[in-house]
């Protein structure tokens, strides 16, 4: 299992999120990979990981899910994989005391590159489906808690995420459409 830091929109490495590249063993039958190994991941992160929930979403082309996060004491770390199709996966640093606060990073995850994305607590997370459809699974280290759930608006002008322009129509839930800007979240003391 190899890993590397992801660069934010200012070309600085974000502290925490990691691109995970599992070792893939291919032959004429197909491939095999180890998608999760607690011992290896804890060695990389230098901390214990206890995943408590697996989530699976299926989305059509143009579906944008995000930018979601939970506030303490239910903040979540996530390990994201795209099983089929292709997504553009994005994080925004919401850690008030971070030197990269308010910056974002994005990565293509698909069933060809087989990469995974480690997102520690403190980041808003979302993705848009680039292929006709996509199956995405992710592990979390805290349970979903409705009262702790929050969302950053996907098109906040102060953050200015560069979503892929190949999508003509973005499909978004009412909840995500009504999400708050970074400044609104700051004023409501809903940052991490």
- What strands, in cross-sheet order, belong to the sheet with 116-119? 2-7, 13-21, 116-119, 78-84, 133-140, 53-60
Helices (H) and strands (E) in the chain — how many of each? 3, 13
Q: In angstroms, rounded to a whole number, what is the distance separating the alpha carbons of residues 66 and 74?
A: 17
Find out whether 134 and 87 touch, Cβ atoms under 8 Å.
yes
Active-site residue, selected from the candidate residues 3, 56, 68, 143:
68
From 69, 88, 138, 143, the catalytic residue: 138
The answer to whether 69 is a known catalytic residue is no
Q: Cα–Cα distance between 169 and 62 in angstroms, integer? A: 6
User: Strand 149-151 relative to strand 116-119: parallel, antiparallel, unpaired?
Assistant: unpaired
Active site residues: 68, 138
């Amino acid at each position: 299992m190899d890993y590397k830091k992801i660069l934010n929109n200012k070309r600085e490495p974000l502290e925490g999120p990691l691109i995970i590249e599992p070792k893939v063993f291919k032959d004429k039958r197909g491939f095999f990979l180890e998608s999760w190994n607690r011992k290896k991941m804890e060695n990389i992160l230098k901390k214990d990981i206890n995943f408590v929930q697996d989530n699976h979403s299926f989305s059509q082309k143009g579906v944008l899910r995000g930018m979601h996060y939970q506030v303490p004491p239910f903040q979540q770390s996530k390990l994201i994989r795209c099983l089929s199709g292709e997504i553009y996966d994005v994080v925004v640093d919401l850690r008030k005391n971070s030197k990269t606060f308010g910056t974002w990073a994005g990565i293509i995850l698909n069933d060809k590159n087989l990469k995974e994305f480690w997102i520690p607590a403190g980041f808003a997370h979302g993705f848009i489906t680039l292929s006709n459809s996509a199956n995405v699974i992710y592990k979390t280290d805290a349970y979903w808690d409705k009262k702790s759930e929050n969302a950053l608006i996907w098109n906040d002008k102060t953050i200015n995420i560069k979503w892929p322009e190949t999508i003509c129509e973005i499909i978004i839930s009412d909840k995500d459409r009504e999400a708050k800007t970074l400044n609104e979240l700051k004023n409501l003391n809903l940052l991490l």
